[in-house]
Amino acid sequence: MAPAPNQGSSIAAIAGGLAAIGIWRLLAVAAPQMAALGIMMQTETDFGSRLCYLLAWGTLNFFFIALLRRPALSGALSLTLVVALVLLSRFKHEVVQMTANFVDLMVIDHDTASFLLTIFPNLRWSLIGAGLVTLPLMYALWWLDPFRVRPLPALACKLACLAALAGYAVTWPDEDWRGYYDDGYLSKFARSGVTAVSDFINYGFMESDAVAGEHLKIPLMDSCHPAGRRPNIILIHDESSFDIRAAEGVKVPPGYGAQFKSYDGVERKFLAESNGGPSWFTEYNVLAGLSSRSFGRFAYFVTRIASGRVERGLPLALRRCGYNTLSLYPAFGAFMSARSFQATTGIQRFYDARDLGAKDIEPDHFFYDKALRLMAEQPPGAPLFTFVYLAANHFPWKTPLRADLTPSWRPLGNAPVIDEYLRRQAMSASDYAAFVAGLKKKFPAQPFLIVRYGDHQPEFAPHLLDPSLDEAGVGKKLEKYDPRYFATYYAIDAINFEPVKSPAVMDTIDAAYLPLVIQEAAGIPLDPSFEEQKHIMFRCNGLFYACKDGAEARRFNRLLIDAGMIKGL
């Protein structure tokens, strides 16, 4: 006969099982909190950023608790969002050298999703797979969670954390240059939320005067009647290029500097509005003819915000004068909404890296050869505006780009990064000379006006210009828009055409004036908006946003809004 069960041991086993279940339930509540603290210690670097992290974590956690009443599930959801933010910030920093901030959410659009799916074609299935794994885990946490929290106390805690976070962010706002550091993901995101929402409430996406005392006439499509023959116009975006002789002690190859001079032998300065990375700032300047600085904290997203809203610029002005417009772009067209932004400013045919068959970073001759082919395919009878966006001098410079193209190159004795930069500039100068020769051969009787510009200085330039500066010192110089760290070059060349002499072709100009300079040099009559901007240029001696602390730019923005050229900003 089987022995009778021991009642005491059964009760002990049951109690032990319940205790084990209780431990697991407590762990379900505690684990997300401990993981969040671990992430904070790994990613936040000082007391202020850690305090903001904790306040942001509390705001997020108590929000879910007020909604769901279950702290384990709320902690897991909060942790999931924080981990996703960290991963997205690191990805963004790898691509554009800046971490994610709250404005990314404010301006998220179809192009953003399209760009991510283009460079990560399996992302859609990864997200679906993550959802299939996450949902059962969330249900398990719902069941395991032994606690229930009343909504009102949780809501009060959430509001207290949010108020403390807002007070800290307003009292000690995060400095813009810290966005380029690969750390502090949650604290920077949270603080940027406070300042971005505040700025948006105060002046919207773009600064402008409340009213203007005068009005611009809206230009008509058939109102442009230039005297003489209209030249084909080629605008060349020379990536990260400037005259490195601005820094002391750099050894340069023989003949260096000729590529920065115009047809008349003059080397002219171009004051960009970015340094080290965001080429799309200058893209906005030279196509819209306006300042990215008018967007304040939203400037980083200027092309995405301006897409569909800023219907003014060089391509549109040239189309009114009978030009066809063409653009060659070295990245995917969805990047920073480049395709839709350029279409808004008047580009009719846009070819991105996929359309052109570009693979990673291509030498300049790749885009010049494509430009020659596409220009030859355009219908005859109308002049053509071609925007050629180069990429060969893009970072990184730690590894050689197509060393086989410069077999005779020898190191100059600078730091390896500097020598690689100079080698690529030499490649660019050679490819440009070949492009000019190709234009003369392929279009022997056609007139051309060619304008090149450096879109910004390379990322190493501030330390080269002033080796005594640390990262914080560089950040402060850039934040104050010290011209020394934003000066590049612009150069004008011509084939079968004599550029028109104009006082607007100054030795130093802000980037936003380049469309005006191009039209003046080409002999194109200015529409009312560019005529007004010309008056500003002369009053401010080539400065735009920096003139009168932005007053001229704010007034001009209001004129364009009233004329219907800027909408919804």
Of residues 271 and 29, more confidently modeled:
271
Given this model, what pLDDT does residue 212 score? 86
Given this model, what pLDDT does residue 15 score? 44
Distances from the Cα of 162 to the Cα of 52, 59, 81, angstroms:
10, 6, 17
Structure confidence by residue, pLDDT tens digits, 144-158: 666 677 888 888 988
Buried b (16+ CB within 10 A) or exposed e, 369-402: bbbbebbeeeeeeebbbbbbbbbbbbbebeeebe
Beta strand residue intervals within 356-447, DSSP E: 384-389
CA torsion, ordered 312, 316, 321, 325, to nearest 10 deg: 160
Given this model, what pLDDT does residue 103 score? 75
Report whether pLDDT(117) > 60. no
Given this model, what pLDDT does residue 247 score? 94
Q: Flag the least confident range among 174-178, 407-411, 542-546.
A: 174-178
Report whether pLDDT(488) > 60. yes
Q: Flag the least confident range among 33-37, 55-59, 197-201, 508-512.
A: 197-201
Please report where in the chains the tokens 């080539």 appear, as a residue: 542
Given this model, what pLDDT does residue 131 score? 61
Structure confidence by residue, pLDDT tens digits, 422-477: 999 999 999 999 999 999 999 999 999 999 999 999 999 999 999 988 877 887 88
Q: Are 269 and 513 in contact (CB under 8 A)?
A: no
Percentage of the residues of the chain whose pLDDT score is greater than 70: 86
Given this model, what pLDDT does residue 177 score? 63
Angle at 280 between CA 274 and CA 282, to 5 degrees: 55
Mean pLDDT of 27-31: 74
Question: Confidence class of residue 16 from pLDDT cuts 50, 70 and 90?
Answer: very low
What domains does the chain contain, in order, with CATH numbers?
A: 12-203 (no CATH), 233-526 (3.40.720.10)
The whole-angstrom separation of Cα 354 and Cα 329 is 9
